[in-house]
Structure 1
Amino acid sequence: MSQSPPVTLLATGGTIACTSSATGTLVPTRTAGELVRDAGLSPGQVTAHDALHLDSSEMTLADLDQLLREIRGATGPVIVTHGTDSMEETAMAVDRLLGGPVILTGAQRPADDPAPDGPGNLRDAVCAAASATTPVVVMGGAAVPAYGVRKVHTTADGAFGNPGIPRPGTLCGGTPPPLAGLRVDIIMAYQGADASLVDAAVAAGAHGLVIAGFGSGNAGGLTPGVRRALDAGLPVVLCTRVPGGPVDAIYGGDGGGATLAALGARSGGLLSPPQARMELLCQLAVARRANPADQR
């Protein structure tokens, strides 16, 4: 009877790999092999590799491209240990560009904490890898679908939730297209915001924009810049800065969601602004590979 290959662990740093420095700050110091040993797992269960070694708040699109390539090249189920700061963005990219049994996990407390949560999360991730068919985030005893996952608490063990967004499936097959070189900016609407914020993003070379709008997707004072961006052919996605509920473009007026939708702005639905940004980046990456001459 053949034995299943061990799960591949790709470590990227994050709190799960952090210990306290001499100044009391947290820095990623633990290697993939040390994480496996901390969790009481054996090399026969997990083949460990260090893919990156950084705080996830510092992760670039080039770093994400490297991680996606390593996941793609691994055999069998893959566990990615990752910082919680930007885990939801990596989870979206993994789901949309790769799919398959990929489990992302991390920690809310560092490895040298008196009661670290990382080892338990890693053990749970190994258990989840036995049955996962699509990407999930495993934290605090829960397995949450990667598509639509978001960080809902800064310190609680159960750091991630999902509002129940239907998974559309992967955008491509084979080697994922690179994200590096693309730029999608998020611009938040607030009282007194003006179009110069949008114009600055376009001038900086944005290939698309996400508007974190008021209420159900209204842009307010950003609207003249949004109109100019749409006229220039840039994709614009309307999201909401509100924690719960979808974008529902029903308001008229200059900055209303219905007005902007009529001009070509897209609805982000239930996606948070960071998720909508990654969704658009993935779409643009796939389109760029299909038509390299069209950079916008």
Structure 2
Amino acid sequence: MNVLVISTGGTIASTADARGALVPTLTGEELVAGCGTTRKVRAVDVAHLDSSSMGLAEVDMLRRTVRKSLFDEDVTGIVITHGTDSMAETALALDLVHTDARPVVLTGAMHSADHPRPDGPANLRGAIETAATQRGTGVLVHFAGGTFPARGLMKTQTTANDAFTLSSPSPLPRPMAVAPAPLDGLNIPIVRAWAGADSSLIEALGPVDGLILEALGSGNVSAAMGEAVAKLLRRGIPVVVATSVPYGEVSFAYGGAGGGSTLGALGALPAGYLSAGQARIALATALATGVNPRSLL
């Protein structure tokens, strides 16, 4: 049985160029060769990206690659090497459509491959071991010695090795998986609120398929921003309200034009414990597949 490593780039595959800037240069085979695993592994390269460039088209490609790879009964699990900036979003995108008992495990690194103390080899070795031994777990992220479920995961450190944690006190239940459908082409921006924000950002959006509102506190925005969001909701544009607070759940408790309770009464949906980025993936998947967004949030 093989663990399949799918390489997409990211810091784990990066080295410094002549100017000292980090760019993905290593192949999946080179990453596996340097990680010290004793498992039987084969590697394939599908991209060489900084994960800040991992758009919906690339997420679609990864979904197809994983699905096709799991047709091979000799594959015991899949590891995806990925940049950390959007790892949590890609992990959830894969988890929402994952029905196989074999795990998909994402990993990466905070230090480049040519750093004096690279963390990528240990992360990859641990992810391979997880993919070889776990069953029925859905999509996971293995990082800095910890293994996390995709749902509710967030990056909380810019440079520290232990960059990931869960936003909820305990792991969140996985919703029933949906059949994959293309996400590319959907326009779902994230707009962040701030104290006293006016309506200008909402009014400048143009045509959108949905909106993620990264609100304050438990899910509130200023009155002016709330009034602009209300116009979108009355036009039938789906709006999901997340929070800029790192931990805790969105709950619609407050009134007023920008209060979560008011927006909820107009049809806005709370993101629960999902970050704005993960909420965007959940809403995109719901719109692409025609399911009620509540079922994926």
Fold shared, TM-score > 0.5 on shorter chain: yes
Superposition deviation, residue 99 in structure 1 = 4.5
| 1:265 aligns with one of 262, 268, 275 | 268
In the alignment, the residues of structure 2 paired with residue 274 and residue 114 of structure 1 have an alpha-carbon distance, to the nearest angstrom, of 32
Superposition deviation, residue 144 in structure 1 = 0.5
SS at match of 1:249: coil
Superposition deviation, residue 199 in structure 1 = 2.1
Q: 1:231-277: per-residue Cα shift (whole Å, max 9, x none)?
A: 11011111111111111111111111111111111111111111111
Is residue 2:128 matched to residue 1:126?
yes
In the alignment, the residues of structure 2 paired with residue 170 and residue 38 of structure 1 have an alpha-carbon distance, to the nearest angstrom, of 37
Alignment correspondent of 1:68: 63
Stretches (4+) displaced over 3 A: none
In the alignment, the residues of structure 2 paired with residue 84 and residue 62 of structure 1 have an alpha-carbon distance, to the nearest angstrom, of 18
Structure 1: runs of 5 or more not aligned: 289-296
Q: 1:182-222: per-residue Cα shift (whole Å, max 9, x none)?
A: 11111111123222211222x1x211111111111012131
In the alignment, the residues of structure 2 paired with residue 254 and residue 131 of structure 1 have an alpha-carbon distance, to the nearest angstrom, of 48
Structure 2: runs of 5 or more not aligned: 292-297
The answer on whether the counterparts of 2:108 and 2:143 sit within 8 Å (CA) in structure 1 is yes
Alignment of 1:37-116 (within 5 A): 37-41=33-37, 45-75=40-70, 76=75, 77-100=77-100, 101-116=103-118
In the alignment, the residues of structure 1 paired with residue 173 and residue 69 of structure 2 have an alpha-carbon distance, to the nearest angstrom, of 23
Is residue 2:2 matched to residue 1:6?
yes
Is residue 2:143 matched to residue 1:169?
no
Q: 1:8-55: per-residue Cα shift (whole Å, max 9, x none)?
A: 11000000000010000100000011001011246x711100011110
The TM-score with structure 1 as length reference comes to 0.91
Is residue 2:144 matched to residue 1:140?
yes
Are residues 165 and 273 of structure 1, via their aligned partners in 2, closer, same or farther at CA, if it must alter by over 3 Å?
Answer: farther
SS at match of 2:290: helix
Alignment correspondent of 1:293: none
In the alignment, the residues of structure 1 paired with residue 119 and residue 268 of structure 2 have an alpha-carbon distance, to the nearest angstrom, of 42
The answer on whether the counterparts of 1:165 and 1:270 sit within 8 Å (CA) in structure 2 is no
In the alignment, the residues of structure 2 paired with residue 169 and residue 209 of structure 1 have an alpha-carbon distance, to the nearest angstrom, of 21
Amino acid at match of 1:200: A
Is residue 2:293 matched to residue 1:287?
no
Alignment correspondent of 2:192: 188
Superposition deviation, residue 80 in structure 1 = 0.2
| 1:254 aligns with one of 257, 264, 268 | 257
Amino acid at match of 1:71: V
In the alignment, the residues of structure 2 paired with residue 95 and residue 217 of structure 1 have an alpha-carbon distance, to the nearest angstrom, of 25
The answer on whether the counterparts of 1:104 and 1:137 sit within 8 Å (CA) in structure 2 is yes
In the alignment, the residues of structure 2 paired with residue 24 and residue 193 of structure 1 have an alpha-carbon distance, to the nearest angstrom, of 39
In the alignment, the residues of structure 2 paired with residue 124 and residue 229 of structure 1 have an alpha-carbon distance, to the nearest angstrom, of 45
Percent of aligned positions with the same letter in both sequences?
45
Q: 1:92-121: per-residue Cα shift (whole Å, max 9, x none)?
A: 101112254100000010111111111111
The answer on whether the counterparts of 1:64 and 1:90 sit within 8 Å (CA) in structure 2 is yes
Q: Which has the larger displacement, 23-32 or 91-100?
A: 91-100
In the alignment, the residues of structure 1 paired with residue 281 and residue 143 of structure 2 have an alpha-carbon distance, to the nearest angstrom, of 21
The answer on whether the counterparts of 1:103 and 1:137 sit within 8 Å (CA) in structure 2 is yes
Q: 1:119-141: per-residue Cα shift (whole Å, max 9, x none)?
A: 11111011111114211100000
Q: Which has the larger displacement, 163-172 or 62-71?
A: 163-172
In the alignment, the residues of structure 1 paired with residue 212 and residue 240 of structure 2 have an alpha-carbon distance, to the nearest angstrom, of 5
Superposition deviation, residue 165 in structure 1 = 4.6
**Cα RMSD, aligned residues only:** 1.4
The answer on whether the counterparts of 1:268 and 1:276 sit within 8 Å (CA) in structure 2 is yes
The answer on whether the counterparts of 2:210 and 2:239 sit within 8 Å (CA) in structure 1 is yes
SS at match of 2:273: coil
SS at match of 2:218: coil
Amino acid at match of 2:268: A
Amino acid at match of 1:214: L
SS at match of 2:128: helix
